[in-house]
A and B are shown apart, each in its own frame.
Chain A
Amino acid sequence: MLALVAAHLVVAGLLPLVSARSTRAAFGVAAVLPAATLLWALANAGAALGGGLDETTAWSPALGLELSFRLDALGLAMIVLVSGIGAVILAYCTGYFGAGSPDATRSAALLLAFAGAMLGLVLADDLLTLYVFWELTSIASFLLVGQGGERREERRAAVQALLVTVFGGLAMLLGFVLLGEAAGTYRISEILADPPRGGLVTAALLLILLGAFTKSAQLPFHPWLPAAMVAPTPVSAYLHAASMVKAGVYLVARLSPAFSDLAVWTVPVLVAGVGTMLVGGWRALSATDLKRLLAFGTVSQLGFLMVLFGAGGRVAAMAGIAMLLAHGMFKATLFLTVGAVDHATGTRDVRELSGVGRALPGLAVAAVLAAASMAGLPPLIGFVGKEAAFEAFLHGTVENWAVAAGLLLGSVLTVAYSARFLWGAFARKPGRDATETHGLGPALTIPVWLCAAAGPVLGIATPVVDAEAASYAAALPGDPAYHLALWHGFGVPLLFSAVALAGGLALHAARDRLAPLADRSPLDAQRAYERTIAGIGRVAVGVTGRLQIGSLPAYLATILVTFVLLPGVAMVIAGAWPTAAPLYHEAIQVPLAIVVVIAALAVTRARRRFTAVLLVGVIGYGVGGLFIVDGAPDLALAQFLVETLSLVAFVFVLRRLPAHFTETRPSRRIRVPKAMLGAVAGFAVAVFALVLSAARTGPATTSAELARLTPEAGASNVISAILVDFRALDTVGEIGVLFVAAAGVASLVLATRYDRRSRGAPVESGQSTPQHEEDVLG
């Protein structure tokens, strides 16, 4: 499974080579891998529905980090969406993106990388692995929604999606750590088998739910999803209908079997879920952009799914699986339909479209099938799911009935916006001429039909879905005799379905009076988001203005005072003072130390920058000499080399700086405190070194271990063995830091030139003249 996930990412990296030749071919190539994944998953369906399929790769065994993957019923259902719909949408892209579209190159690679991240997410059996893929999907979605970043709308929407989902993701990471520590394992399957309890778990679950709610656009985090509709339609279809936004629902579904008996889990899920379903459905009624309408529909459906998976009953969970599949299929169909309509007419505004159904009858039929599934009409899979959902909550307590009533109201809205979609996209509006259309190629219509056909096929093949859902829901309490079916006889669920249909159609009939109402919503979460961001910006400006005052001495003083006060006081209180510290080990140390001390004192007296730099160099070389005396040639070598290089870098920079530190000597009032602070800080460092070296009473166990292991690592140089073997991960991290530092320096220096080139303004060059250079270099 790791290989499969990795293959997605690798092929995505290589795709630009293909798209340089032909963007269409790139999408075609990209579609192969998800299709193969789907076939692989279906071939392993038996094992997945049975015990599940495991695969673990050790990542860092000492830390308990591993890449664990597991294919089970829930994973299988998600792969059908992620890979199945992914393949269809990539095929659709070959028709959607023009051959010369500049966005296509990036989109092909990103969509495939996204599919890989999503696949890793649904297969992950380790909380940390899951988190990594979770954030990868956020980043991929940021890049996909932002596109070229040339339009303000795109940038704003992409940043909003990223901020909201990453904020939740970080909270979720904290929750994962708490949960993992409470359970003693990060393996999801082990946590599910033996769920931990306690106060920590309560906090962990709330944090995890925050992650799930932001990712799945639950109240009050939902506005990013409709805003993200600025992305190209296939991207919206894939990210925001089929896969990414399902990640939160998936997480709730994944953890529900273990925690749905806790009120801290079910109450937020049920409240947010029902609320989201109603708000999303209500807002969809006033949307005039077809994609926006669908986006609010998605928000509403995500709330519905949240309720079903979070409730923790067997029947509800089975309904959840059915609705999960149904929603992926019908929402993908509808999005792709909008893309095709947009392609054929050049608009997707409800108020401009008229008579498209007559011009594109095939597309209209596919959309009707999908919308019927969304509205919950038999014999489609959406009907099966909705019946089971009503059945799950029509028993027992008042809370259950309240949820059922909420779902009924939500379903009424669902029917209403389904009707609004069909009417808006295809109906002939009175008093408006038919919109001009041109024909559509097979690449745009066949994928729509494939997705649309899934509705009735899955509806008729309900037993297959039932087996899948039963396997997932087996661990949950509830009526074991219930099965998903098209016909359960006359009962309250059927009555509810009928009420939903009638109510929804009535709402649609009254659309002219309703739309202005739906437009006004008492709670504007989008405005709340904007206020929050603006507030954070203001706070940041305030803090920066007070802390970053632009004076290096002030910064240094802050650092030194903190350093002296905090660890200094702690050391005086708790430090272990050395009993007998010899002044020196070797005679040669004395002259070296004297050189260093003299150079250090001289630096403070230096008035020319160049002199100061040279003296700092002397200190560095002196310290290097001390390293040699103490038998650390490795350290000394590095010290000498770094010292030389920094000297060179200093000289480069000095060319642009005044030769002297200050033109006028500062007054005593400034100089004396400065000198005192410097002296105290220096003294503190020296005492630190003494105290810390005295803190070690015997040879540390690790050094003995290192000495023993070094020959095993094939090295006779223990420093090297540490750097590239025992602490190799640190080394990789450190060179990453170096890379960032080099990039930072280069951009800071080169940025000024870029500025000038773009504006054509005259060059502002410091005071470097030959005279100045001679001043500096002496």
Chain B
Amino acid sequence: MTPPDDKPFEEWDRPRQAWMLSGDCRGYRQRTLLLEMTTRALFPTVLVFSVYLLLVGHYGPGGGFAAGLVAGLAFVLRYIAGGSDAAVRVRPPVLIGLGLAVALLTALAPTVVGAPVLATTKLALDVPLIGHVETQTSVFLDVGVYLLIVGVVLDLLRSLGAGIERDMRDAGEPR
């Protein structure tokens, strides 16, 4: 399925995911080309937007929870457009565990320097080209929340979405 690396120039735009390819990736009856194409444009955009929400959380509406939900909804869109074939490679429990671990490490990290658990401090540095950037260490806690929420949504897709679909397929029911 995956195109070779030395593919001709005119094929550079060829989608890599199976669910975007023409052919029989899903019951043709359910395919909605419009939704698939929209999703193709929206999916990365929404993901970037979710990262924006994550980072901006300290200064405006957003934060790890909202950002995680936005990213999760991007995956929901992709699932609805492409079905379970569009499932991501990473397993949801791994994401959830990662999120929890990041949050807990963020919580415990201050004790290394003798500060109370979950203490935060300001991080400021001058990045070339971008300029002065400052943020809070609590953004790491937000990152943990973000990962966990994305994992929870993917878990939902896996168990309620694809899980039920597979049950139906196993039962020999048409979709």
Contacts and interface: CB of A to CB of B under 8 A. Distances in A.
A195 B134 CA distance: 50
A562 interface: no
Contacts of B170: 753, 756, 763, 765
Contacts of A743: 93, 96, 155
Contacts of B65: 638, 723
B155 A724 contact: no
B13 to A, nearest CB: 30
Contacts of B115: 58
Contacts of B149: 735, 738
Contacts of A750: 159, 163
Interface string A722-733: 011100110110
B138 A724 contact: yes
B159 A745 contact: yes
Interface in A716-751: 716-717, 719-721, 723-725, 728-729, 731-732, 735-736, 738-739, 741-743, 745-746, 748-750
A59 B118 CA distance: 9
Interface residues of A, number: 56
Contacts of A752: 167
Nearest to B66: A637
A649 B59 contact: no
Given A745-B160, A749-B159, A637 B62 contact: yes
B60 interface: yes
B60 A746 contact: no
B63 A719 contact: yes
Given A652-B161, A724-B142, A745 B64 contact: no
Secondary structure call for the B interface: helix
Contacts of B134: 714
B167 A746 contact: no
A649 B141 contact: no
Contacts of A729: 107, 117-118
Given A645-B72, A724-B142, A732 B164 contact: no
A723 B63 contact: yes
B116 A717 contact: no
Interface residues of B, number: 63
A770 B160 contact: no
B149 to A, nearest CB: 7
B159 to A, nearest CB: 4
A742 B63 contact: no
A58 B117 CA distance: 8
A464 interface: no
Nearest to A632: B61
Contacts of B59: 715-717, 720
B152 interface: yes
Contact of B164 (A638, A644, A749): A749
A510 interface: no
B116 to A, nearest CB: 5
Contacts of B14: none
Contacts of A648: 73, 76, 80
Interface of A: 57-61, 633-634, 636-638, 641-642, 644-645, 648-649, 652-653, 655-656, 713-717, 719-721, 723-725, 728-729, 731-732, 735-736, 738-739, 741-743, 745-746, 748-750, 752-753, 756, 763-765, 768-770
Given A716-B60, A717-B57, A731-B141, 15 more contacts: A637-B61, A642-B69, A648-B80, A649-B156, A652-B156, A714-B138, A720-B63, A723-B65, A724-B58, A724-B141, A729-B107, A748-B159, A753-B166, A756-B170, A765-B170
